Amino acid sequence: MSDDQLSAEQRDARYVMHPLTDARANLQSGSLLMERGEGVYVFDNAGNRYIEAMAGLWSVGLGFSEQRLVDAAIKQLNRLPYYHAFSQKGHNPMVDLAEKLVGMAPVPMSKVFFTNSGSEANDTVVKMLWYRSNALGETQRKKFIGRKKGYHGITVASGSLTGLPVNHRSFDLPLPGFLHVSTPHHWREAQPGEGEEAFATRLATELEELILKEGPETIAAFIGEPVMGAGGVIAPPATYWEKIQAVLSKYGILLIADEVICGFGRTGNMFGCETFGIKPDIMVLSKQLSSSYQPISAILLNERVFEPIADETHTIGTFGHGFTGGGHPVAAAVALENLNILEERNIVGHVRDIAPALQEGLRTLSDHPLVGEVRGLGLIAAVELVTDKGAKSSRHPAGALGKRAAAILQNKGVISRAAGDALTFCPPMIVEKDQIDAILTALHSALDETAKEML
Ligand code: PMP
């Protein structure tokens, strides 16, 4: 058949290789193609409406039709559609955004380095800290510690920081020198009778033992998301971050907070670091930074990180790393407008006000025979499905329950995401009570149908 007789979905199957997708399945059916967006809703090519209960990829904070972001992009496109930041050049939107971010940071930060995606940002952080160690003459300090189920991206270094098997398998990752400690998931990982604080103490001890085994002088940094996102929305147990930070400071190890999902209001504070009392040396920002209207990410560095790097660039004559599109003026202008809107409309306050509707609403599902755990805070949550509540397990292959429930829920007009057997929810932060109620009603009925098929 010639292309003009084919539907867009058929042409998708013919021409597109999708990320995070079974390519053979896509050859059969193509993908669900979205045509337009309005508030928390997206509409597919057939005109079906969905509540985007994942804000795309945890990212469209202000929803799918914020005219001011569009206007900011057009204005900047008309004035200066592109300029770069290499070799002591730049442009005003980048400077304005950097100043804004340093001002917003919950701990003293000194400089901002701009990149285009979360993965690029985390890859850049790895290279920056290798460079810093060399600058300090600490040439052995090159290892990174992440967590199992942590997600930091998929490029070669960021994919190594990530602790999810699916991002490693068949890619020959992680690289050597990238280590992973246990997931801070109390419900699944704690021993019988072990309280949250005792569990947190055990994880801090595990971290300390790993540092001692490897040699503290070989560890560049520890990286963590304040709340794990793609690993299944895992909020840390009480006292976790305070105990982890005590170990890191005892050995002088830097802390990187990956705020790519948590940043800009998601947990009910501007940053996840504020919610958990985290005092990082580096913060990685993306996604809700621009509500994903433009690709952009930012790395905030404190003086302790920046100073040795600055010395080395002066010795060498340059910092031999950067991206053509890093800090793109259109993306920076959109991000700046996005941050202005967050503040003007007190979106963080709205998240706090509306969060109980989502969190308490989801917890009313705890008694459902398929629900093992409901977890989350602010406007980020997960419902983990099991067939055996006592054993916290499923009699189906891992991920099958989650995948089926997500598909049924999608047919009811709600887009969630399956992280294994956990259904995750992260709606645009502008979501209203009636829309949360609609998500809950659809979810309840989707779980009933899934239970009929799979329990
Ligand atoms: N860090 C975190 C915490 C993320 O959730 C993600 C993306 N889901 C990334 C990094 C990678 O971002 P990107 O997909 O833009 O490379």
Ligand 1: atom nearest CA of 259 is 3
The pLDDT score that the predictor gives to residue 2 is 76
ipTM: 0.99
- Same domain? For 299 and 389 the reply is no
Rounded CA-CA distance 406/192 in Å is: 31
Distance CA 14, CA 8 (A): 10
Q: Are residues 74 and 153 in the same domain?
A: yes
Q: Give the atom of ligand 1 at the shortest distance from the alpha carbon of 57.
A: 8
Same domain, 290 and 384: no
Atom of ligand 1 lying closest to residue 116 CA: 15
- Both 248 and 210 in one domain: the answer is yes
- Tell me the CA–centroid distance for residue 364 and ligand 1, in Å: 30
Q: What is the pLDDT of residue 24?
A: 97
Same-domain pairing of 166 and 222 = yes
In this structure, the number of other CB atoms found within 10 A of the CB of residue 83 comes to 15
Which CATH number covers residue 195? 3.40.640.10
| Ligand 1 in reach of 123 Cβ (< 6 A) | no
Which pLDDT belongs to residue 382? 98
Q: Which residues of the chain have pLDDT under 50?
A: none
Domain boundary among 293, 315, 344: 344
285 CA to centre of ligand 1 in angstroms? 9
Q: Does the beta carbon of 59 sit less than 6 angstroms from any atom of ligand 1?
A: no
DSSP-assigned beta bridge partners for residue 102: none
Predicted pLDDT at 108: 98
- 63 CA distance to ligand 1 middle (Å): 19
Q: Give, using CA atoms, the residue closest to atom 1 of ligand 1.
A: 152
Hey, what amino acid is at 348? V
188-212 exposure pattern, b = at least 16 Cβ within 10 A, e = fewer:
ebbeeeeeeeebbbbbbeebbebbe
β-bridge mates for residue 114, sequence order: 298
How many domains does the chain fold into?
Answer: 2
Task: Check residue 116 and report its DSSP letter.
Answer: S
Q: Is the CB of 295 under 6 A from ligand 1?
A: no
Q: Is residue 84 part of a domain?
A: yes
3-state class (DSSP) for residue 396: coil
What is the distance between the alpha carbons of residues 282 and 299, in angstroms, rounded to a whole number?
7
Structural domain harbouring 311: 69-344
Q: Are strands 143-147 and 219-224 parallel, antiparallel or unpaired?
A: parallel
Question: Is residue 149 within 6 Å of ligand 1 at its C-beta?
Answer: no
What DSSP string runs through 251-293? TT-EEEEE-TTTTTTTTSSSSHHHHHT---SEEEE-GGGTTTS
